[in-house]
Amino acid sequence: MKASDKRHLKRAGVEVTALGMGTAPLGGLYTPVALADARAAMQAAWDAGIRHFDTAPMYGLTRCEHLTGELLREEAPDSYVISTKVGRLMSFDRPGRQLPPEGPKNEFDSGWNSGLSFREIFDYSYDAILRSYDDSRQRTGCPKLDILFVHDIGRVTHGETHDHHWGALTKGGGFRALEELRAAKLIAGFGLGVNENEAILDAMEETDLDVCLLAGRYTLLDTSAADRLLPKCVERDVSLVVGGVFNSGILASSSGRKKFNYVDAPAEIIEKADRLRAECEAFGVALPAAAIQFPMRHKATGNVVIGAKSADQVRQNVAWFEQAIPDELWQNLENKGLVAAV
């Protein structure tokens, strides 16, 4: 399997590369990222044959949409696929300006060390979705946006305000705006970009989704999506772009970064990661290689997107993605109950 292999997203009608470039780390997730390093990482992804780039207004508080556009807008529009997100509008404070009060901080939002001077305002309504689309076109400067993901809709993110935001997306016309953009062929398709299985399942009952980005819920450490969501995606022809395959870092290095789902990893997760690492090493396979390839074993998966903070990290991700893994390793992990059978 090569990072540059093409994968067809049936309902959206676009072809993405098997490995996509996620841009969140370039916003300074956990640590700052110098502009030169961010640009080099993007160029390394392109040079490796990666042609799907996923970004969002939230990432670096607009920084990453600017970086994505800087790379792609000079390329032929049919040579790449770009996905971004809606649900957050970006604003700035100025004297006398009244902005909505900030809600309680989501425990999984670690902030941005290289973010620009904007503030996010959640809004999933009809007008906000259309404005967000326009704003992203302006920031990227690209002649097209292929896929829009409704970003971080769900009870984990919004808590007691979830019903309000879900109402804006459904009764308030947010989904209708996305349907109109698709019907006008301004986008190829839309879906949700979340880390909550239930949000996608609920959205499937509200509108016809094309492709969804699911982070952290179909990994070596968390296969909760396999119970209900993945079978439903296969039934509805909804492709899954799988992100968060390293679960915030614990699966990404031999030392085992002690972050899981953006917070400090509990003891049981650290123990399981250590067991997985030992099993992989017995077959001569790096744990990150198994982590990055694992989602591709399920037919619901369209592709995998991986973030990086440097050109070297991009090249390492590609090497892990392309490393040969014997079937015996997967069978061994299944037999020992470390992963669910596909």
Give the type of residue at 66.
H
**Which residue numbers are catalytic?**
54, 59, 85
**pTM, full prediction:** 0.94
Per-residue pLDDT of the chain (342 residues; tens, 9 = 90+): 999 999 999 999 999 999 999 999 999 988 999 999 999 999 999 999 999 999 999 999 999 999 999 999 999 999 999 999 999 999 986 656 555 555 555 555 668 999 999 999 999 999 999 999 999 999 999 999 999 999 999 998 899 999 999 999 999 999 999 999 999 999 999 999 999 999 999 999 999 999 999 999 999 999 999 999 999 999 999 999 999 999 888 898 655 457 777 677 888 888 999 999 999 999 999 999 999 999 999 999 999 999 999 999 999 999 999 999 999 999 999 999 999 888
